[in-house]
Structure 1
């Protein structure tokens, strides 16, 4: 098994190569405006650092969000294009699950990512492998009190610490593709069927078709 993992659902552009047992190489850069510029460069860099050509990759796993429309689509489209060109399976995993896996926590906690518009994408976990609710999108002050009080990871929790009293500064801020790959490898080894790479859109996109056009007449 040689998994190529990537995620662009958050400001982090992250790529990793995993051989089923460990991460061989990884890359991560936080830049919310340059997903399209950075992703393929990162793929080339990771393959080069691992010393493994693309032809040896046996499957891809991509973060499916939730996340902003444009950034999320960059990762999904790239993974599907590589998969189609090489005839490889492409799996999708919830981005928040990858972030949760990286915490290694064995107790209940919450993951919150920045959703903009003064909202967060969040999910609740029983431990680093087990999601119990979500993902959902809400204003941080509207989360259930018992959820907000849990140990918290993610950029959304860091952005609104007044609403996440359990914020843990030692836990990851953004997802890392290495964790996403490790989670996928673990589930595949256990015989689980991973979901397809379908985006998790929890609200309508920011961009809208203009309305209220003025009629133009020729005199």
Structure 2
């Protein structure tokens, strides 16, 4: 106690150590998690990233996905390849006579295409031809007329008896009537008006050509040759 009449002594020196001790106790409690994982987040700072994701609407959809695997260096997508490369294929064209097969082979070789020739036994049924002629001289005049009209695929068929032979200019043999009629229309386009179609079933060995790596342009050439030379089919290689 202070004597009467003497001034009171200041108490601050005793309070300061107590405040420091209390502050240390609070900090120790915060480090140990007594007040939660982030006690000051709601007072002095914005929410951290994990909390922000948890507060998003339907936040379960927000996931980081691994990037798709990149294509190998130098590899191009299939859709980016040239269309001619995608269309390249092995194609067979056939139903030729021996003479027509030789001409077609020369034409394809001139276009720098690889050509393989082979024979195939077929059952033909439809015959495109000119009317039979009573003499060979009449038939020869018909052949000359065909050449003037740029029709070069034909053969001369002799029938009848030795005493009364007939001579028929054959223009093509076909398995299917539709193909025969198409070729008949082609001949009429050349001005051959007297060509006719007859059913004449028989086996026949005919020539075929195989073209590998045929792109779109090569197949268009083959289709034009089919019509020009009287071939019957343009097919994928068997």
Shorter-chain TM-score tier:
under 0.3
TM-score between both structures, scaled by the size of structure 2 = 0.23
TM-score between both structures, scaled by the size of structure 1 = 0.24
The structure with more radius of gyration: 2
Q: Which has the higher contact order (CA 8 A, sep 6+)?
A: 2
Which structure has more helix as a fraction of its residues?
2
